[in-house]
Amino acid sequence: ILETFLSLLLPLALLVLAASSAAVAQLEIGFYSKTCPDAEKIVREEMAKIIAAAPSLAGPLLRLHFHDCFVRGCDASVLLESTEGNVAEKDAKPNKSLRGFGSVERVKAKLEAACPGIVSCADVLTLMSRDAVVLAKGPFWPVALGRRDGRVSSATEASNELPPAFGDVPLLAKIFASKGLDLKDLVVLSGAHTLGTAHCPSFADRLYNTTSGLIDPSLDSEYADKLRLKCKSVDDRAMLSEMDPGSFKTFDTSYYRHVTKRRGLFRSDAALLFDATTKDYVQRIATGKFDGEFFRDFSESMIKMGDVGVLTGAEGEIRKKCHVLN
């Protein structure tokens, strides 16, 4: 009888063990409640100071998180510096204009002072992007924590995997799907373009088409004239244009109103009007009657994106400084 009992007990024990290890490998709300109880408060307070001093950093910090999650998942690989033998993500062409690295190090240093070696850079960046949205008058959402930091960062991967500013919906949808994100996530997360600015090379091909000499017909001609005053050529790197003119430091739905008027800055913004599903969403939110719905959708899509390809448990490491491996 004892033998039978033990033979029944063993699979049960293995099942419990498997369940507990699976639970360990999940992100969770309050992950640092025992090891660094003030982690979120420290990030929030430091972010309040950063955004008070430089409100225009909200967009770049949100973008940093996007660019991290789309390459190897949300593992802070975008923060690593290149080394003699490796060109890192941050030096890939699409990442040359990323900003906010110093702010991430500043927040991480505060956490290291309070709880050395506990909070990952991946979690720091995820929290900072949420707080950036909140401080720009956008929605709050709970962030599950427990991400670990990756040990690999490749410029080639970044160049191949990031959604390009010139992408149409089929191409962008394919890239999003490879990360477990759908068409709704694509149109909702495009709404992040309500914050921030862009350099001319990311959209100037719409103003100066080298082959035909004509401007992109999907761009409002009056708006194109205004943009050409700022961007003198395709290679003009000096000037910045607001992605959501008039409220580029405020998280709101005016981006969608610009897109419906054919005043989205990028080809990828304009492309949203050429797909039935994304067009419906853009036009609905553009009415200004569904801001609460957009805020809820954005929160849900950010939670989904923050779960992409995360390292948990014993994977990766907890970097002491975000720009360099331990």
pLDDT of 236 strictly over 70: no
CA distance 48 to 125: 15
Average pLDDT over residues 29-38: 97
Average pLDDT over residues 177-199: 91
Torsion sign across C-alpha atoms 194, 200, 203, 206 = positive
CA distance 297 to 181: 13
pLDDT tens for each residue of 117-161: 999 999 999 999 999 999 999 999 999 999 999 999 999 999 999
Average pLDDT over residues 308-325: 97
- Residue pair 270/216 in contact by the 8 Å Cβ criterion: yes
CA distance 322 to 299: 26
Fold of 169-305: Peroxidase; domain 2 (1.10.420)
180 labelled binding-site residue: no
193 labelled binding-site residue: yes
Which residues have C-beta within 8 Å of that of residue 128, sequence separation ≥ 6? Answer: 43, 47, 61, 65, 103, 104, 107
Start-end ranges of CATH 1.10.420.10 in the chain? 169-305
Q: What is the mean pLDDT of the chain?
A: 88
pLDDT of 304 strictly over 60: yes
* The Cα angle at residue 122 between residues 21 and 295, in degrees rounded to 5: 100
Question: What share of the chain in percent tops pLDDT 70?
Answer: 86
307 labelled binding-site residue: no
Bridge partners of residue 197, in order along the sequence: 242
Give the per-residue pLDDT at 198. 77
CA distance 18 to 227: 57
Which residues have C-beta within 8 Å of that of residue 199, sequence separation ≥ 6? Answer: 97, 237, 239, 240
77 labelled binding-site residue: yes
Give the per-residue pLDDT at 239. 66
Average pLDDT over residues 36-57: 96
212 labelled binding-site residue: no
Start-end ranges of CATH 1.10.520.10 in the chain? 38-161
CA distance 314 to 235: 45
Give the per-residue pLDDT at 18. 44
234 labelled binding-site residue: no
Give the per-residue pLDDT at 19. 41
Give the per-residue pLDDT at 308. 97
pLDDT tens for each residue of 210-229: 565 567 878 888 888 888 88
Higher pLDDT among residues 39 and 166, named by residue: 39
How is 185-218 classified by DSSP, letter by letter? HHHHHGGGGGS-EEEGGGTGGGTS-TTT-PPPTT
Give the per-residue pLDDT at 207. 79
* H/E run at residue 240: strand 240-242
153 labelled binding-site residue: no
In a 3-state reduction of DSSP, which class is residue 242?
strand
pLDDT tens for each residue of 246-264: 666 789 999 999 999 988 8
Clarify whether 67 is annotated catalytic: yes
Question: What are 320's two structure tokens?
Answer: 């002491």
pLDDT of 77 strictly over 70: yes
pLDDT tens for each residue of 265-302: 888 999 999 999 999 999 999 999 999 999 999 999 99
Question: What are 90's two structure tokens?
Answer: 């941050």
- State the architecture of 38-161 in CATH terms: Orthogonal Bundle (1.10)
163 labelled binding-site residue: yes
89 labelled binding-site residue: yes
Give the per-residue pLDDT at 24. 39
Pick from 85, 219, 60: nearest CA to 227: 219
Pick from 44, 226, 217: nearest CA to 129: 44
CA distance 103 to 118: 19
Pick from 63, 124, 136: nearest CA to 302: 63
Give the per-residue pLDDT at 203. 78
Active-site position among 65, 67, 199, 323: 67
